[in-house]
Copies of this chain bind each other. A is one copy, B any other.
Amino acid sequence: MKQSKWIWYPGDFELYHSMLLHNRRRVTGVYKNLNSNKEKDVVGAYYYPMWRVDGPRRNCELHKRAKIEKAETVELISNADEATLWINGTYHRAGAKIELAPGEYEIKVKGFKDGGFPCFYVKGDTFASDESWTVLDFDKRNMAAGCSDSYTDEADDPEIFKFSYKKVTPVSKKAVMNGVLFDFGKESFGKLNLVKVKEKDSDVLISCGETEEEALDIYEANFVVNAKVKNGEFKSESLALRYAYIPEYDGCAELYLDFEYLDIKDVAEFKCDSELINKIWDTCAYTLHLNMREGFLDGIKRDRWVWSGDAYQSYFVNYYLTQDVDTVKRTIRMLRGRDPMTTHINTITDYTFYWLSSIWDYYYFTGDRSFVESMYPDMKSTLSFIEGRLSDDKMYTTRHGDWVFIDWAHFDKKEGPICAEQMLLCHAYSSMSKCALLLSDKDMANHCKKRAEYLREKINDLYWDDEKGAFVDDYTSGNRNVTRHANIFALLFELTSKERQDSIIKNVIYNKEIAPITTPYFEFYELDAMCKIGDFKYVTDMLYSYWGGMIELGATTIWEEFDPKMKGTEHYAMYGEKYGKSLCHAWGASPIYLLGKYALGVRPTSEGYATFDVVPNLMCFGSIEGKVPVLFGEVSVKMDRSSVTVCTDKDGGTLVVNGERYALCKNIPLTVSIK
């Protein structure tokens, strides 16, 4: 018999796990906020998601038609409340073994499940359930069934997200007041286990923190676990922590962590002659891995939600770190939810634009047409939603409830339609146009191409300020305010002429009077632009000072925001909460991407790495060495001031040194000396 896979309505696995994920947030500062008479009654209250969270379908019908030459037996297994196997018009219950004589068959699986979502597993040969089964309803008729290589065993349960676990014990513990503080050595995520508790049925308070200060501050810590010990044992829900503090500890219990993670191996490696940079690279990789879960999370402590702008950057870092594509696909599906769209993704306008752009990027890095195809109906309805909210002159304009984010930076985003949004919309149109062309939807491709060209003109007409030699934030208020954001996008997406780009570099990028970027989030775009310009000193300075600054303060993962001027616990506060800042935030991992793309210099030059350039650059280092994943392959690069050596196991590569192009032969190292 052929290997079967669990199948479901396409996208519903992602909707289900996204729903669970987005409903797990707890209120911080539980003592303060909860009305309680019992001091120990500290279970965090439920924190409602900030946008509509869509559940999966509770009814699902999938089918397959085939002619079989030899007899086979089929059997349906299903988790559904009600399920039937329909064969050429006859109904059979799950569990019945049906023998099929050679001939033509249409087989349907039909099910209803109230909680969770209905899944099917058909044992058979030709009819073994997998992506060759398709949807039967009118919404997504003929779309391939959802399935995953992680759920191929009859005993698998697609309602349980498959993580890996390993036991991690604290690296140290010390007495503090009447209690004990455990240190797991670095930022971690998983289920706390309290075992061998002397009082076999008791309540034990465990206060967790990303920092020692947070764990010890039981009234302000994000996670205070009220462990209900039964039979001397307790296991918590999964949570983020480095430190755990038991305020009343009688010395007779052991604490360890079931560290929870996805077992995704890094392909990428990076070493240079700066130990700090190497440590930054490792810390960034670890930061991304901790946030790589059901989807790409923003951070593992506070909301643990999936945000499109954050995820957009994680995709790029991931393309330069691992061979995993599933987390990208899951995240894209989770973000989109179900029709009808009634708000922008995460309620943030720019995040919808990134979402559209991310699908072309995904295709460009993976060459996976089938995913683009499966998302295309959602892409079209997303575009239709966007266009339903444009102004009469087809430009982005703010509507009630739209959140214009761009960055945490303070600039007036409410004064008229701002430039950065038009640029992201323009880029989204370009991406949509390319996806439409890929799927031979020529009308859509033309429409989007024209809109992109139109927007580019409008942007250059309305937002360019000749006097300032830069794009201004908005053109309606008359403020003529210049920030880095729109100007960085103009460079990155090449939205203006070479002359204007040069003007931007001079008048904005190198202009110290223009407020600097303060989040690792927007540093991604700024440093990408600076690498593009070739100012590697700017980039490496920032790595040393900004990322290095966090490492010097003991960071084991990259933070949500970092202001070198702050002191002590000031660093941990955000959003009005004493420990509100996330100290493990995915958007800080961009050095992986920057060093892979611009130091090791690996860049696809056509879809799916069919061709790619390797343009190594020492930046400001004495030597670099490392690897970058290319689709189903890798490129290793070793460079110092005298020579560069590159080897790859994939066809289509070209080494570029000092403008000279050298074709790479598969598995044959090529060394070029540098004059």
Contacts and interface: CB of A to CB of B under 8 A. Distances in A.
Interface of A: 19-20, 23, 27, 33-36, 43, 45-49, 51-53, 55, 57-59, 61, 81-84, 86, 90-93, 96-98, 108, 110-112, 114-116, 137-139, 339-340, 342-343, 347, 381, 401
Nearest to A29: B91
Given A96-B35, A98-B35, A82 B46 contact: yes
Given A91-B33, A92-B35, A46 B339 contact: no
Nearest to A20: B114
A115 to B, nearest CB: 3
Specify how many copies of this chain sit in the oligomer: 2
Given A58-B19, A82-B23, A339-B340, A45 B92 contact: yes
B45 A84 contact: yes
A389 to B, nearest CB: 12
Contacts of A114: 19-20, 55, 115-116
Contacts of A116: 114-115
Q: Top 9 A-B pairs ranked by shortest CB distance?
A: A115-B115, A48-B110, A46-B82, A55-B58, A45-B91, A23-B112, A114-B115, A35-B96, A138-B343
12 contacts: A19-B112, A23-B112, A27-B91, A34-B92, A34-B96, A35-B93, A46-B93, A55-B55, A114-B115, A137-B342, A139-B340, A340-B340
A17 to B, nearest CB: 12
A32 to B, nearest CB: 8
Contacts of A339: 339-340
A49 B136 CA distance: 12
A45 B83 CA distance: 8
B46 A112 contact: yes
A48 B52 contact: no
Given A19-B58, A116-B115, A33 B90 contact: yes
A84 B48 contact: yes
* Most interface-central of A19, A23, A48, A138 (chain B CB within 10 A): A48
Given A46-B82, A59-B23, A52 B138 contact: yes
A48 B61 contact: yes
A55 B52 contact: no
Contacts of A84: 27, 45-48
Nearest to A140: B342
B59 A49 contact: yes
Contacts of A59: 19, 23, 48-49, 52-53, 55
A380 to B, nearest CB: 12
* Most interface-central of A86, A98, A381 (chain B CB within 10 A): A86
Contacts of A93: 34-35, 43, 45-46
A57 to B, nearest CB: 7
Contacts of A49: 59
Contact of A57 (B33, B51, B55, B111): B55
Nearest to A90: B33
B45 A342 contact: no
A97 B36 CA distance: 9
A111 B340 CA distance: 21
B138 A46 contact: no
B33 A139 contact: no
A93 B27 CA distance: 11
Contacts of A92: 33-35, 45
A36 B110 contact: no
Contacts of A97: 35
* Most interface-central of A20, A34, A46, A97 (chain B CB within 10 A): A46
Given A47-B91, A48-B110, A339-B340, 19 more contacts: A19-B59, A19-B112, A23-B59, A23-B112, A27-B91, A33-B90, A33-B91, A35-B92, A35-B97, A36-B96, A47-B84, A49-B59, A52-B139, A55-B59, A55-B114, A114-B115, A115-B115, A138-B342, A138-B401
Contacts of A45: 84, 91-93
Contacts of A35: 92-93, 96-98
Contacts of A27: 84, 91
A112 B25 CA distance: 12
Contacts of A82: 23, 46
A172 B182 CA distance: 77
A111 B51 CA distance: 13
Contacts of A81: 23
A272 B381 CA distance: 59
A140 to B, nearest CB: 9
A71 to B, nearest CB: 15
